[in-house]
Chains A and B, each alone.
Chain A
Amino acid sequence: EAGVAQSPRYKIIEKRQSVAFWCNPISGHATLYWYQQILGQGPKLLIQFQNNGVVDDSQLPKDRFSAERLKGVDSTLKIQPAKLEDSAVYLCASLGDGHNEQFFGPGTRLTVL
């Protein structure tokens, strides 16, 4: 079974630029998560999707962050415009119905200069 795929793995941008990250969850997993992991901290949930609907986006900075999962499969997370404090690893995870374990992708490491 293929795992959670993310791209790109690394991205370096300047502040005020835009950036997008892509995630393809494990096939058949209805729930998809985006986490932000700042260096030295644990992952923090940004947004949770159930199929193509948003379940929880209470911690998403909506003035600059957006995410979509239009067909209920893969998802895109966008930052526009980026700030220095957005430098972090962005992790995608998925959860299958009836399972009790989230599966994580390798992450995208974003550096904002």
Chain B
Amino acid sequence: SQKIEQNSEALNIQEGKTATLTCNYTNYSPAYLQWYRQDPGRGPVFLLLIRENEKEKRKERLKVTFDTTLKQSLFHITASQPADSATYLCALDISGYSTLTFGKGTMLLVSP
């Protein structure tokens, strides 16, 4: 069955360091992959979309890579800040209907 896997353990890092989150998927070849941020009790907020023919995409302090051979995306936050603390979700269209299936998310905690 299709699966989207994100590390369920929280990632704790110090302010100023680079946070790297992983999203692995199996049994599918998505045309694109998306990353979202979710704060407690709120809806997810769209951050970035990367297409299968793009190796890397950047937006301010965010960088996403997409390796379709490894079936993996890495999400980096450089110069992390306590305000970056949140749960980060990756999402793929694995249905073929242009709907998103979400990973369960990884919580990032940035300490001062």
Do A and B pair up? The answer is: no
- A residues whose Cβ falls under 8 Å from a Cβ of B: none
